């Protein structure tokens, strides 16, 4: 079982238990990103996290976006990078750039 | 992701069937390939992503798509239900590999020593051949007994597996090379065997040796320079 499958199974388990769940997936990277495209982070409404989309530097921001998507049902495409002011805030210290797709697990 | 798509994806994973998840990034619309009919360009990108085991991106009619391959797990076939095998199993599982242990000696290959692991008690050549090692499979022989290791290596050398490792010193391996040559294997073919097995980290204990083996398998899989060996002749 690859680690991204493991995350999906964990997310499915949370959903089956009645929690709202969103899944964030790295869809594109440039430069030195710690996690490759396809890496997943699952977030539950109660704040549980499984997996990762970075070395830990953007997980907080992604979790916030995940909660919005859980509420709205609308997917989001997030951009993180050194040219991005928001990324400065969340501190992508590695100097990499990445795009993260966030969707609700319906 | 809809519940239907999640169920289809998880069913494919349970059946060890390779599928690619295609996501249109503008609205999150998703398809599973090859289960759904998709435009030729998407199908091609999906097949390539599965082949390379790497996610990709495609713009089709102005729409960005994310191509996410879901291959069945990589496999490790361990010949020899020995102490090092017991140490290797959890490390391999943590790295995402599906593990099978082959040993005709029933006293060694027990569920008590390998809880939850697929154990095969056939003779090692039949067992390894039946497992049909492919380009996503590593084979490691650990019995240190030629009558068990050699047939397993013989079967592995006849397969497309991406890694073959054999426990034993350089001296042991030199003798093994002679026996495998006698069995009809070419020098090039025998050079596929990593022996002594594992990266040289001066490992001593069973878990340390297991770690060195797993590190070498990852190095070979990922194309790291550390995973390449000098030709077998130089090691003899």
Model confidence at A59, pLDDT cuts 50, 70, 90, reads: confident
Domain ranges within chain B, ordered by starting residue: 3-70, 75-235
Q: In what order do the strands lie in the sheet with B163-166?
A: B118-120, B98-102, B75-79, B137-141, B163-166, B193-194
Region of poorest pLDDT, from A17-21, A94-98, B135-139, B214-218? A94-98
Architecture of domain B75-235: 3-Layer(aba) Sandwich (3.40)
Assess B59–A contact: CB distance below 8 Å, yes or no: no
DSSP A41-83: EEEETT--EEE-SSSSSSHHHHHHHHHHHHHH---EEEEESTT
Give mean pLDDT in consecutive 10-residue pieces for chain B, a chain of 236 residues.
94 94 96 94 96 94 96 96 98 96 96 97 97 96 96 98 97 96 97 96 96 97 83 45
Output the pLDDT for position A97: 83
Chain A closest-CA separation from residue B164 CA (Å): 21
How far apart, in whole angstroms, are the C-alpha atoms of residue B82 and residue B103? 9
**Radius of gyration over every alpha carbon of chain B, rounded to an integer in angstroms:** 20
Structure tokens at B204: 């001593």
Chain B closest-CA separation from residue A29 CA (Å): 10
Q: Give the sign of the dihedral formed by CA B10, CA B48, CA B194, CA B104.
A: positive
Output the pLDDT for position B231: 52
Output the pLDDT for position B234: 43
A106 and B1 within 8 Å at the Cβ level: the answer is yes
Residues 89..108 of B with a Cβ closer than 8 Å to A: which? 96, 98
Under DSSP, is residue B119 helix (H, G, I), strand (E, B) or coil?
A: strand
Antiparallel, parallel or unpaired: β B63-70 and B56-60: antiparallel
For residue range A69-93, list pLDDT tens digits in order: 999 999 999 998 755 555 455 555 5
How far apart, in whole angstroms, are the C-alpha atoms of residue B19 and residue B13? 8
Question: How many of the other CB atoms lie within 10 Å of CB of B224?
Answer: 13
How far apart, in whole angstroms, are the C-alpha atoms of residue B236 and residue B35? 51
């Amino acid at each position: 079982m690859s680690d991204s499958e493991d995350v999906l199974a964990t997310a499915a388990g949370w959903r089956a238990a009645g929690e709202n769940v969103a899944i964030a997936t790295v869809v594109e990277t440039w430069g030195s990103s710690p996690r490759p495209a396809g890496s997943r982070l699952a977030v539950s409404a109660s704040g549980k996290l499984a997996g990762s989309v970075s070395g830990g530097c953007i997980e907080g921001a992604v979790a916030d976006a995940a909660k919005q998507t859980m509420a709205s049902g609308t997917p989001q495409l997030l951009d993180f990078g050194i040219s991005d002011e928001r990324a400065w805030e969340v501190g992508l210290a590695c100097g990499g750039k990445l795009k993260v797709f966030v969707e609700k697990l319906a | 992701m809809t519940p239907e798509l999640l169920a289809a994806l998880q069913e494919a994973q349970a059946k060890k069937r390779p599928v690619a998840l295609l996501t249109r990034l503008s609205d999150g619309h998703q398809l599973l390939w090859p289960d759904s009919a998709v435009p030729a360009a998407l199908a091609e990108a999906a097949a390539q992503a599965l082949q390379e085991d790497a996610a990709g991106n495609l713009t089709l009619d102005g729409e960005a798509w994310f191509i996410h391959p879901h291959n069945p797990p990589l496999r490790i076939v361990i010949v020899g239900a020995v102490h090092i095998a017991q140490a290797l199993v959890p490390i391999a599982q943590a790295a995402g590999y599906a593990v099978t242990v082959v040993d005709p000696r029933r006293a060694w290959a027990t569920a008590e020593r390998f809880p939850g692991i697929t154990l095969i008690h056939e003779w090692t050549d039949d067992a390894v051949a039946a497992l049909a090692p492919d380009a996503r499979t590593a084979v490691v022989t650990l019995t240190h007994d030629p009558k068990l290791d050699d047939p397993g290596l013989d079967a592995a050398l006849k397969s497309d597996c991406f890694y073959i490792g054999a426990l034993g010193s350089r001296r042991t391996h030199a003798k093994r090379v002679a026996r495998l040559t006698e069995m009809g294997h070419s020098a090039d073919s025998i050079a596929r065997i990593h022996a002594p097995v594992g990266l040289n980290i001066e490992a001593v204990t069973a878990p340390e040796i297991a770690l060195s083996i797993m590190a070498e398998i990852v190095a070979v899989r990922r194309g790291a320079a550390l995973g390449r060996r000098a030709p077998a002749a130089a090691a003899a």
